[in-house]
Chain A
Amino acid sequence: RKEVEQDPGPFNVPEGATVAFNCTYSNSASQSFFWYRQDCRKEPKLLMSVYSSGNEDGRFTAQLNRASQYISLLIRDSKLSDSATYLCVVIHTGGFKTIFGAGTRLFVKA
């Protein structure tokens, strides 16, 4: 079993749709959580951190459930420019090991 697992995707949604990505992690030593975005043939870039209290950045909302070891990302009012691969990221206690999910591909269509 992979340490970080994401929805397989791809997700194909129309502009303006709301889309949710899910991610589960298996190691309870996991301490920090993030969502990254990766465009085709580019490096991953930090999208947002994920906190237990939930956090929002414009159209993006991230949630963490430590009891269920579950992370989510919600994108509202999808734009064409949101098309990318979204990676769930977990950092272990001590900060030495960063584990990436395989990513979920999102296609937003006009």
Chain B
Amino acid sequence: SQTIHQWPATLVQPVGSPLSLECTVEGTSNPNLYWYRQAAGRGLQLLFYSVGIGQISSEVPQNLSASRPQDRQFILSSKKLLLSDSGFYLCAWHPTVSGNTIYFGEGSWLTVV
């Protein structure tokens, strides 16, 4: 069966520090991969999605970036965090077969102080 994992689960980072969140999917190949952010009490905001290695689409302008160095690995990064980057970050995958739904990792709670 397919599984998705992301880490770290929680982190507290100072303003201006770098960020790296990692996500891996097991048990499938060539998945669509996504990074979402959920601010406190708000809905899910799509940040990036990827349909293949090295292919990244950005949905919103920001100081975050994403990379997909391997088929089942998706990384979210920042060179310098802002206070507004605080939130709940969720990695997700979606089979490339149309009609199937999306599955989330456990999420990463980021607090920028």
| Chain A residues packing against B (C-beta within 8 Å) | 31-32, 34, 41-46, 49, 87, 89, 91, 93-103
Contacts and interface: CB of A to CB of B under 8 A. Distances in A.
Leading 3 A-B pairs by shortest Cβ distance: A102-B43, A43-B104, A95-B98
Given A87-B44, A98-B34, A103-B43, A43 B98 contact: no
Contacts, number: 59
Nearest to B34: A98
8 contacts: A31-B98, A42-B106, A46-B103, A89-B101, A89-B102, A95-B97, A98-B102, A102-B43
B96 A95 contact: yes
B90 A43 contact: yes
A93 B98 contact: yes
B101 A49 contact: yes
A45 B106 CA distance: 10
Interface residues of B, number: 27
A96 B43 contact: no
A99 to B, nearest CB: 8
Interface of B: 32, 34, 36, 42-44, 46, 49, 51, 88, 90, 92, 94-107, 109
Contacts of B105: 43
Contact of B49 (A43, A44, A93, A96): A96
B99 A31 contact: yes
A95 B100 contact: yes
B90 A98 contact: no
A19 to B, nearest CB: 20
Contact of A101 (B43, B95, B99, B109): B43
Contact of A100 (B43, B51, B94, B109): B43
Contacts of B88: 41
A94 to B, nearest CB: 7
A16 B42 CA distance: 28
A4 to B, nearest CB: 9
A103 B42 CA distance: 8
